[in-house]
Chain A
Amino acid sequence: MKFTKKTLPIALLWLVLAGTAVSADVDVDADLMRGVDDTAKSLDSNVAQKDGKAAAADARSLVETFAQVEAHYGAKPETVDAVGFAHHTQDLAAQALKAIEANDFDAAGEAVNQLTRSCKTCHEVYKKD
């Protein structure tokens, strides 16, 4: 296929958009989950130590990751439950973030508790034994 002066910009734009779409879908694999596990532990620790800045960074990271996980499963009709789990966990990370920003570390700790439980609940269904 040859690109002309007219078609080349359109083709480039398509490539950029396609690249964006690809990068929005993450691989929900063991590596990603290990990262989530580590971030959740870091969040838990930072909340316990009342380190608001570090805790907020962890919570934000989890909100973003679970948004990506939700999008990933949303594209697959056979994993509709996982969308709900990911959405719920994302909500809990957001709750934790809100509490951290309000310097309410007790509420943040409770949200993190709920978040790790949510992780386990999802694993009961989706983590392959």
Chain B
Amino acid sequence: MSHSSRRDFLGNAGLGLGAAAIGSLGLQLNVASAAELEDPTAPREPHFPAKAKSVIWLHMAGAPSSLDLFDYKPDLIKLAGKPLPDSFAKNLKTATDGGVGNLLATKRTWKQYGETGAWVSDFLPNLSKQVDDIAFLKGCKTEGATHIISSLKLHTAGLVPGRPALGSWVQYALGSANPDLPAFVVLPTGVGAAGGGRGAVIWNSGFLPAAYQGTAFRKGDSPILHLARPEGVIDTEQRDTLDLIASLNEHGAIARTGDTELAARSRSYELAYRMQKSAPEAVDLTKETAATRELYGVGAKETDEFGTALLRARRLVERNVRFIHVISGAPDQSVDSWDAHNNLEKNHGVMSKTVDKPIAGLLADLKSRGLLDSTLVVWTSEFGRTPYGQSGNGRDHNPWGYTSWMAGGGIKPGTYGSTDAIGLRAETGIVDTYDLQATILNRLGLDNRKVTFQYQGRQERPTTVFGDVVKEILA
């Protein structure tokens, strides 16, 4: 896990901005102008009125099993222990070392909840109370069968590294709504990085200017490495130093009119200075009430880290951060991640307990504060897991059919799409990752086909040449 430091942030901001911003004017944004692009944080107007101001992207890295959380399949229970029927396996190319085991039934207890009647297993007792705010996308599909490839596609719309993350595109298209904080913040949680597909490669800015990359916040009081003022330096000294640098840069700029790199570097010093106050304050949970901390599970062993991340996410939303990417990880060494190739019951028991209460708390908290209407919460993963077993009690990777969900910001609750009778393949309401991305951009007021950036002679788009908005779930 690599965390961005202030030094990285400044370097990227200073060096990345000017050069790329002006040099690649493929932009079709409504109000973009060269002057605005010199400052990558300058707010820009969306293509049409936005329903959401911020996105909280909950990435369940490692890939949970929809079949044990949301996608109830009685036929799979009936067929458990039998080989995968040919009728389901037609043209299926499995790329697993473990082979295709016999069908594996869920061991969970299932119920329908709320007015929408959404099925949720007893792995998620708290989230089940929030289903009436959620649109379940049960016909999701993707490509690839390895974590890294499918995670790249989920986050960057590419199968190889080099394309910008969705959060980077959002920042590029809309700028920042808070000049004192990064517009794209990443909150990684957990120990280890099993399975891959969860490092900086999924939140970098690819061919967009480096200033648009996600800024990974660290745990603890000082979220950005090297952000705090060095010991022995007081505020007035630092301010004097920055003022001197600014005056020297202004003097130098007289002979370098149009030098956007110099202007960007000067701006980045001021941004960092402001962030010394704004970033620690944004993640300071001592200002939250005990009841709010409890709502997220902060302070409880299983939920403390993920709950802390989500409470920070809410605070960042309140401070108008556009895109907050939260990555779910293992709370301890007892499991790797959601990647349950074996002992799924134990794995999902631990992982579900880690996220269930914090996510339910986040939805309830956003709603009670009137923020859910303008905040889009997205739960997704690089793929799902197979209905056939692996290692006797686990499940393999399933890119052909799985569940994601969205809530809040202009989303109509309910269930959209389905998988086949055993949950192997998406059958109706198919939503590819491009469509998920297009829908998120739409809720932010962006037309995925009109956000463009010229790179190597081509007009690149966030969702490549694909991506249809899932209109059926729009409120």
CA distance A40 to B464 in the complex (A): 10
CB of A81 to closest CB in B, whole Å: 13
Pick from B425, B464, B468: contact of A117, CB below 8 A: B468
Given the known interface contacts A113-B449, A120-B432, the answer about A44 and B91 at a Cβ–Cβ threshold of 8 Å is no
B399:A129 contact, CB within 8 angstroms: yes
- Chain B 9-26: CB-based contact to A (< 8 A → 1; otherwise 0): 000000000000000001
A31 within 8 A of B: no
B91:A128 contact, CB within 8 angstroms: yes
- Which of chain A's residues have a CB closer than 8 A to the CB of B26? 48-49
A45:B468 contact, CB within 8 angstroms: no
- Which of chain B's residues have a CB closer than 8 A to the CB of A120? 432, 466
Q: How many residues of A contact B (CB 8 A)?
A: 16
Pick from B432, B452, B464: contact of A48, CB below 8 A: B452
- Which of chain B's residues have a CB closer than 8 A to the CB of A117? 468
CA distance A117 to B469 in the complex (A): 12
CA distance A98 to B475 in the complex (A): 37
B459:A45 contact, CB within 8 angstroms: yes
Q: A interface, by DSSP: helix, strand, loop or mixed?
A: helix
Interface residues of B in 414-432 (CB under 8 A from A): 425, 430, 432
Q: With CB as the reference atom, state the residue of chain A lying closest to B435.
A: A120
B91:A129 contact, CB within 8 angstroms: yes
- Which of chain B's residues have a CB closer than 8 A to the CB of A129? 91-93, 399-400, 425
B458:A116 contact, CB within 8 angstroms: no
Q: How many residues of B contact A (CB 8 A)?
A: 21
Interface residues of A in 43-57 (CB under 8 A from B): 44-45, 48-49
A40:B452 contact, CB within 8 angstroms: no
A61 within 8 A of B: no
- Which of chain B's residues have a CB closer than 8 A to the CB of A59? none
Given the known interface contacts A48-B452, A49-B459, A129-B400, the answer about A112 and B91 at a Cβ–Cβ threshold of 8 Å is no
- Which of chain B's residues have a CB closer than 8 A to the CB of A124? 430
Given contacts A44-B459, A45-B459, A129-B92, list 9 more A-B pairs with CB under 8 A: A40-B465, A41-B458, A42-B458, A45-B457, A112-B465, A117-B468, A120-B432, A129-B93, A129-B400
Per CB-CB distance, the 4 closest pairs between chain A and chain B, nearest first, are A45-B458, A48-B459, A45-B459, A116-B465
CB pairs A–B below 8 angstroms (14 shown) = A41-B465, A42-B458, A44-B459, A45-B457, A45-B458, A48-B452, A49-B454, A49-B459, A113-B449, A116-B465, A120-B432, A124-B430, A128-B91, A129-B93
